[in-house]
Amino acid sequence: MLADAKKNSESESSATLLEVKGLRIEGLSEKGWQEIVCGVDLKLKRGEILGLIGESGAGKSTIGLAAMGFARDGCRITSGEIIFDGIELCTASEEQKRKLRGNRISYVAQSAAAAFNPAHRLLDQFAEGPVDHKIMSRTEAKEKGRQLYRSLDLPDPDNIGERWPHQVSGGQLQRMMVAMAMSCGPDLIVFDEPTTALDVTTQIEVLKTIKEIVTARNVSAIYITHDLAVVAQLADHLMVLRYGNLIEVNSTGQILEAPKQEYTRALLNARTRHEQTTVQISDAETLLSINSVTAGYGNGLDILQEISVSVERGRTVAVVGESGSGKSTLARVITGLLPPRSGEIHFQSESLPPALAQRSKQQLQKVQMIYQLPDVALNPRQRVRDIVGRPLSFYLGLSGKKREHRIIELLEHIELSEHYIDRLPDELSGGEKQRICIARALAAEPELIICDEVTSALDTIVAKAILDLLQRLQRELSLTYLFISHDLDTVASIADQVVVLYAGRIAEQGPKTAVFQPPFHPYTRLLLSSVPEMRQGWLEETLSTHEAKAGIAREVKITERGCPFAERCPVAIPEICVRDRPPLQTPASGHVFACQHAPEMLLDHFA
């Protein structure tokens, strides 16, 4: 008998857990009901992880939720079958589905900060599922929660559950949501972009948590993401989706090594690092120089501390850092939106007045900016003609035919036809909107363009095209870019010079080649090693060799003394690093980093 039961469960373990056949889902849009998932089939065995990959509008989240028999408001499942462990979810009663949800299928949302109820303690929210599904008592559930927190290396696991959601940092909250998904010991977890909103160093920690949970406990998972490199670390199989259609499905290795479809290749290609050797410009003129600028908002802390950066004409200087590093504040200081507390900014060797109101039209004209979210950077009530034409009439005094002609010329520059001139932003795609933003910046005929995270809100393929466009324009029009980004891949492909910011201070800066290899500053090293690589096994390697286990998943904190990175630094010297400002070291001309250790010491340490 016993042997039979065991055999049974073994055969069960290789059996299909979830099967979706011909799934069609419609969504309500302005044009009425439209199909957003157009007949997708899917099969998931026990213990298997399936990655759903696609850009925005691919329908991947909708499919993920449908696997729980759930459709959001404004969506409806029109046909198809969803069979979870022999139960047909499309025809199941609400009550039947409710008993499965949270219990045998659970869900991890993109933003833990929004998905936890602000009015309850975290452990109570953890225990709610198992208690309501009558799996265990409240005390048992809470004990299980503490155990899970402990096994996931959460700080202070015995007490962290007593906190309220807003008292825990983003990365930790995300990991606690993963723990919550495990509360009832489910058979299947749906992960819906669980690391998209996080910094790379935080992302790694959450990925580690997810990996531990699903492999150690033999749980099946559907992992939804737009980032191939991330899902490659976890998934056994990948499904590539586009506009609600299945493009390709195969084992992860096959998709990465030998993609069959054009679209899959494009996705892979867009995410692969293309390092370009930069053109050396001899005796380049310094266009912008920022001299020991300190800035902050209101009466708050100094968000930027003693920042000095210089930008040479025709070059691209990239400013990298995690959220909270102060990189966007730097852009605000340069544009004059935030006058610095001390320090100076020179433009073409002429001193720039600190506040926007004091700057002349010519000074304003020379620095233009492109923003992260093209949706909010374009006035929805203005047509392309007005958007691109305004700088022309404002700065250059163009009007009538001349202005019209110039607008069309600018549209050509950004590879859009002249028919776009009468369009409203709503009638453009995300990539086209960003192109219009570029055209608007170009219209002013600037010397320097500040690009603030210009590709991070875009789908990978579109982002790649925008980067290519920026580079082409730079070559043709000899533009100078200050490129702000958190994405090291992007930086690696576009920058000549790199400035690494941490908690408002410059950790390291210099030519790209010098800063990225060999990495000297421990933070640069941590950043570089945290960027997921497009191959299987990267996560395990990084985690096993990860020199900064202590360093990941901590919040960026501005400090008034010492090295702000000391708390996370694997080679921090006790007492000294938290007390004294790290000295600036110059291993080569133009390459500077701030650390107590000498370059040789650091190289040795990480060897």
- For binding to other proteins (CB under 8 A), which residues are involved? 28-30, 65, 68, 70, 72-74, 97-103, 106-107, 109, 111, 114-120, 128-129, 132-133, 163-164, 166-167, 335-337, 356, 359, 361, 364, 369, 371, 373, 376-382, 390-391, 394-395, 440, 444
User: What residues are paired with 294 via a beta bridge?
Assistant: 342
Cα–Cα distances (Å) from 571 to 505, 577, 596, in that order, read: 19, 10, 10
Using the minimum distance from each CB to other proteins, give the nearer residue, 444 or 479.
444
Q: Provide the token pair at 334.
A: 């340069």
Q: How far is CA 484 from CA 7, 132, 373, 446, in A?
A: 58, 48, 13, 18
Nearer to other proteins, 114 or 550 (CB): 114
Alpha helix (H) residue ranges in 79-137: 94-100, 112-115, 122-132
**CA-CA distance, 435 to 219, in Å (whole number)?**
44
**Shortest Å, Cβ 379 to other proteins:** 4
Q: Is-contact 176 162, C-beta < 8 A?
A: no
Closer residue to other proteins in complex, CB, 132/604: 132
Angle at the Cα of 58 (from 56 to 64), degrees rounded to 5?
105
To the nearest whole angstrom, how small is the minimum distance from the Cβ of residue 603 to other proteins?
39
Comparing CB distances to other proteins, the nearer of 106 and 542 is 106
Q: How far is the CB of 109 from other proteins (least distance, A)?
A: 6
Residues 6+ apart with CB under 8 A from 280: none
Residues near 587 by Cβ (< 8 Å), separated by ≥ 6? 514, 520, 593, 599
- Placement of tokens 């948590």 in the chain: 209
Nearer Cβ to other proteins (101/271): 101
Residue with smaller CB distance to other proteins, 256 or 352? 352
- Of residues 90 and 364, the one with the C-beta less far from other proteins: 364
Half-sphere exposure of 409 (CA within 13 A, CB side): 11
Residue 469 Cα to chain centre, angstroms:
21
Q: How far is the CB of 167 from other proteins (least distance, A)?
A: 5
- To the nearest whole angstrom, how small is the minimum distance from the Cβ of residue 589 to other proteins? 34
Measured CA to CA, the distance from residue 227 to residue 2 in angstroms comes to 45
Residue type, 187: D
Pairing of strands 367-370, 350-351: unpaired
DSSP state of 144: H
Could you tell me the smallest distance in angstroms from the CB atom of residue 36 to other proteins?
A: 14
**Shortest gap between Cβ of 106 and other proteins (angstroms)?**
7
C-alpha–C-alpha distance, residues 214 and 217, integer Å:
6
Please, which residue, 38 or 364, has the CB nearer to other proteins?
A: 364
Nearer Cβ to other proteins, position 380 or 574? Answer: 380
* CB 373, CB 355: distance < 8 Å: no
Least Å distance, CB 249 to other proteins, is 25
CA 255, 197, 203: angle at the middle one, nearest 5? 65
Helix, strand and coil content of the chain, in percent to the nearest 5, comes to 40, 25, 35
- Helical ranges in 316-459 per DSSP H: 327-335, 361-366, 374-377, 384-395, 400-413, 430-443
**What is the nearest approach in angstroms of other proteins to the Cβ of residue 224?**
14
Least distance to other proteins, CB of residue 361, Å: 5
Residue 6 or 72 with smaller CB distance to other proteins:
72
CB-nearer residue toward other proteins: 118 or 574: 118
Least separation in angstroms between CB 163 and other proteins: 8
